[in-house]
Every structure is written in C-alpha cells, then in structure tokens.
Amino acid sequence: MLREQENGLPLLRFVALAGMEGVVHAVTTRHGGVSQGAHASLNLGHSNGDDPAAVAANLERLRQALGLERLVWAQQVHGTGMLGVGGSESGLIGQADGLATDQPGVGLLIKQADCQAVVLVAPQRRVVANLHIGWRGNVHNMAQAGVRFLRERYGVDPAELWAGISPSLGSCCAEFVNHATELPEDFLRYRLWGDNFDLWQITMDQLTEAGVPIQQIEMSAMCTRCAGQFFSYRREGVTGRFGTVVGLR
C-alpha cells in the first residue's frame, strides 16, 4: 500500500485505487488522533469505552483529511446486510456489514480491529462500496453478498469492479482452535499449518468466484496483530478501531 499523510493523519492507500479519478479512499492507522490510553490515538469506534467527544473529534479529523462532506457507518453485526447510502445521511445509519453509494461527497466507513474491510469500486458506473468481513463474514460469504448488491441495486457488472482488501488478521495470527465448529469443512483447504487459516485468500477466492477479475484485486497483506500501527483486538483486547473509507468526489 502507499503511505501518505493528509492533515497530519498517516493514511494508507491501495495502489490501483489511488490513481482513480474521482475516487477517494484510505485506510487509517492508530496514529494522528486525540484519544488516550488503550484508545490512543485515532480511535474511530464508539462502542469500546472511549470518550465519545474524542471519537467525534477523530472522525472529524478523518473527514477533513479526505475532503469529504460527511462520513457514514453502520453498526456492524457480522452478517451480510447491505445498505445503499443516498444524498443526505450522515453518521450512524443503521445495522449492516456493507455500505454502497453512487453519491459524491459521502465516505463509507468500515471500523476494524482485525477484521477485513473490502473496498469495491466500479469506476465507469461511479459506484463504490465498503464491506466488513470478519471470519464470520467469510463463512457467510459477505464478499458475494456485496457484489450481488452492487449488481442488483446499481447495475454494476462484477467484471468492472476493482477491490482492495485492507490490513487485517493474517494467516500468521488467524488461529482457529475451534475451526471444526466455527468454519465450514471446505475452508480446510485454507489451513496452512496448525490451526492457522488464510482468511485473505478466502476473501480473494470469494471475490473472484463472484466475478471480480483477479488482476483487479489488491491485497494489503498487512497483519493487524503483527503490525503495531493498527488497533488489534487479538493483540490488545481492550483497544480502539481503525478504519477504511471509500467515497466519490
């Protein structure tokens, strides 16, 4: 990923998406915000015990750094629900694990602390989406649900889609000692050693099976538990949330 800095915020960007006209996106780190203690400092999550005023200030810093009019997010529930975002919503807009829009000025925010955010961009039709995919999202094939929503709601051909898989739990750290009950049997082909699974490859395969061309998928391949610049639930327990945003100008 590209490492950049805007308004004092370190931001990461997918190489292919960074060059796209009219598309704005970024992955945040834990740095550049005002939260203290376990949430230091750019915590974007409201539900982990941080001061709400600090979270609001962090979200505002992010919005300004990206030059967007508003940010929207949903209460993420490890399901496959998608919400289409129109021209006026702001802040928390409901319960879902995927957001999509064809409206300029709004940033779709997925909050993370080891789960994947998967950014989808249809540059010709000018539609973007952002998906929250934890291991439960892999089990329920959220990637496919997101691609299907873009086709049905906005007429996006999956072959047009570009995808970015954000920093998240790598196979180095994705240990599932209870995989016999938690993961379907056909995920065993993604078991690399011991009880460690390659969740990135599962998402990559689910995207390609949904019709996204493999050469249009970029994987950050950064593990949040190993790389100290992100919040990681597996590493820290009580921690903040970093985020991935995509929008249209």
For Zn ion, the closer of residues 29 and 35 by Cβ is 29
Q: What residues numbered 54-83 form the site for Zn ion, per CB under 5 A?
A: none
Shortest spacing between CB 113 and Zn ion, in angstroms: 14
Q: What residues numbered 208-227 form the site for Zn ion, per CB under 5 A?
A: 223, 225-226
Shortest spacing between CB 227 and Zn ion, in angstroms: 8
Q: What residues numbered 152-171 form the site for Zn ion, per CB under 5 A?
A: 170
Among 53, 172, 214, 221, binds Zn ion (CB under 5 A): 172
Shortest spacing between CB 234 and Zn ion, in angstroms: 8
Q: Count interface residues toward Zn ion (CB under 5 A).
A: 6
Q: Are 24 and 246 spatial neighbours (Cβ–Cβ below 8 Å)?
A: yes
53 contacts Zn ion (rule: CB under 5 A)? no
Binding region for Zn ion (CB under 5 A): 170, 172-173, 223, 225-226
